[in-house]
């Protein structure tokens, strides 16, 4: 099980890193989403794996519990990464609609074009 989780984190990271190195905004956003998954699962895994031991206190017997702290941290991290993705999507959308291009890299020619446009405006 541990091997599966670790390798899943690795595959998600690798796919995420590959995608954020692409040249267009949309794959970068997808890559960031994959990286978020990887990071969240990784953080969660720092509490070690346990089966049938949710951190909900039982009234009877001494049940074992999984580590609640990473779970709490990851819970907020999931929500925050949604917020971040949303802001990025908005940026990408805005950039595309303004420039009719969703390339993320600014090359020399792009810079001069932009200044030229600003000059016109």
The nearest distance, CB 116 to another protein, in angstroms, is 14
The nearest distance, CB 91 to another protein, in angstroms, is 7
Q: Which residue reads 């541990």 in tokens? A: 2
Q: Is 115 in the site for another protein (CB under 8 A)?
A: no
Q: Is 61 in the site for another protein (CB under 8 A)?
A: no
Q: Is 116 in the site for another protein (CB under 8 A)?
A: no
Output b/e per residue, 5-29; b: 16+ Cβ within 10 A. eeeebeebbebbeebbeeeebebbb
The nearest distance, CB 28 to another protein, in angstroms, is 8
Task: Return the residues of window 7-46 that contact another protein according to CB under 8 A.
Answer: 7-30, 33-34, 37-38, 40-42, 44-46
Of 61, 62, 68, 118, the residue at the interface with another protein (CB under 8 A) is 68
Each as own residue / partner, the long-range contacts of residues 72-76 (CB below 8 Å, 24 or more positions apart, any chain) are 73/43, 74/40, 74/43, 74/44
The nearest distance, CB 101 to another protein, in angstroms, is 10
What is the Cα–Cα distance from 82 to 40, expressed in whole angstroms?
12
Q: Is 114 in the site for another protein (CB under 8 A)?
A: no
Q: Which residue reads 């303004």 in tokens? A: 98
């Amino acid at each position: 099980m541990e091997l599966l989780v670790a390798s899943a984190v690795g595959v998600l990271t690798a796919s995420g890193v590959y995608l954020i190195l692409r040249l267009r905004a949309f794959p970068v956003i997808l890559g960031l989403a994959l990286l978020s998954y990887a990071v969240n699962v990784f953080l969660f895994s720092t509490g070690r794996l346990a089966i049938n031991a949710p951190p909900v206190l039982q009234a009877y017997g001494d049940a074992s519990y999984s580590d609640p702290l990473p779970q709490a941290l990851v819970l907020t991290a999931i929500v925050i990464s949604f917020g971040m993705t949303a802001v990025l999507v908005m940026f990408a959308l805005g950039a595309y609609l303004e420039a009719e291009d969703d390339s993320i890299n600014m090359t020399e020619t792009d810079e001069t074009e932009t200044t030229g446009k600003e000059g016109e405006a």
